[in-house]
A = this chain, B = another copy of it.
């Protein structure tokens, strides 16, 4: 693997899930791979799971880890070409990425959507600029429109918990008062569609994900319809793709409750976290035995460890 920015960088999803489970079974078996190698973690936005699970995975593989909060630890970066830099941004991505590529064997980047201009976000300027200018492999720690490390952890979790070969997996929108990115929903849909699981997306009218994402997915506008017979319920809020970045509704009837979960085939409940209790999901659901959110978060280590391992092996060649 050269980069891990989006699904196009992955040759075999099933193999990667298997590799994740192998990392979990033997966390320190490949510690020699990262010897004297450095990964730089760049955060343009806050992080808890991603920050810590990635550090841990890299250290499990024997790497040195350097963490940087862009903007507070260092300079604000300019991403536009050809501008005269006479405003607040002190450094251009061309230099910043190339310089970091001098210091790091792998660079991992988190940079959320701005939710102002759909084309801007879907161009993935930040991550693609690092791919273009850094000269070393780039890992996506959640970009404007994708969160592949999360999706890989999600598939690992489903693999661990599924009780039939082809479970029914439901991705459902849940209410939130703030406009949130589409990255987690987009990636989860894309990754599940690479498996042979049954897959349904449930969201209110106006909240359909991008045509590109949902072209091979079944989309319904009723949670009840989607939940019937489901083996996995994956809840997530996202703002509207059509009226880009808007909160069109906070309809509390879309909250995940024990009553809704009762419609399923004893489904496991999943969420990428952080989750707002009482708002998107009832306390009872998160505290139930069928909630898999902590196991799912734990699997973030093995997901990114599988990715880093594949990249390190690519470097060695």
Contacts and interface: CB of A to CB of B under 8 A. Distances in A.
Interface residues of A, number: 60
A298 B102 contact: yes
A96 B36 CA distance: 32
A288 interface: no
Nearest to A74: B48
A239 interface: no
A150 to B, nearest CB: 13
Contacts of A74: 46-48, 51
Interface stretch (A77-85, A112-120, A157-165): A77-85
B85 A60 contact: no
A84 B175 CA distance: 12
B276 A90 contact: yes
Given A48-B74, A103-B301, A95 B28 contact: no
Interface of A: 27-28, 36, 38, 40, 43, 46-49, 51-53, 55-56, 59-60, 64, 66, 68-69, 72-75, 78, 81-86, 90-92, 94-96, 98-100, 102-104, 177, 273-279, 283, 286-287, 293-294, 297-298, 301
A103 to B, nearest CB: 5
A55 B66 contact: yes
Contacts of A297: 95, 98-99, 102
State the oligomeric state as a number of copies.
Answer: 3
Contact of A95 (B59, B103, B274): B274
Given A91-B48, A91-B275, A56 B38 contact: yes
Contacts of A83: 277-278
Nearest to A56: B103
Nearest to A35: B28
A111 B297 CA distance: 24
B102 A273 contact: no
Given A78-B277, A86-B279, A103-B53, A46 B59 contact: no
A85 B279 contact: yes
Nearest to A55: B66
